[in-house]
């Protein structure tokens, strides 16, 4: 006797369970892929920012060294000029 409900075979029930499991797995893989993609992007951005900072520090260091050298050369020139003036026999 049929009470109005469709009779599902064991095979159809198993197929529906496998289908639901596959859909859940695909959804989870998609979510994980999204998380990983975002994380890789954020890491790349952080590393890029760090590299920019390193380049700026290097450039500042070069500028400071050049300024120091220029100042030392200028000081040596002044000292040499003072020595010349002090040692001038005229």
Predicted confidence at residue 70, as pLDDT, reads 84
**Mean pLDDT value of segment 64-85:** 73
Q: What would the DSSP string read from start to end of 5-64? A: PPPPPHHHHHHHHHHHHHHHHHHHHHHHHHHHHHHHHHHHHHHHHHHHHHHHHHHHHHHH
Cα separation values, 61 from 20, 47, 50, 58, 66, Å: 61, 21, 16, 5, 9
**Mean pLDDT value of segment 62-79:** 79
User: Residue 71: which pLDDT band, with cuts at 50, 70 and 90?
Assistant: confident
pLDDT 10s digits, 31-64: 999 999 999 999 999 999 999 999 999 999 999 9
């Amino acid at each position: 006797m049929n009470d109005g409900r469709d009779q599902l075979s064991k095979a159809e029930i198993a197929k529906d369970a496998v289908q639901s499991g596959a859909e859940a797995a695909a959804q989870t893989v998609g979510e994980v892929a999204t998380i990983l993609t975002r994380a890789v992007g954020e890491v790349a951005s952080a590393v890029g920012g760090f590299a920019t900072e390193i380049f700026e520090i290097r450039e500042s260091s070069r500028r400071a060294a050049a300024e120091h050298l220029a100042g030392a050369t200028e000081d040596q020139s002044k000292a040499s000029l003072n020595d010349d003036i002090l040692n001038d026999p005229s």
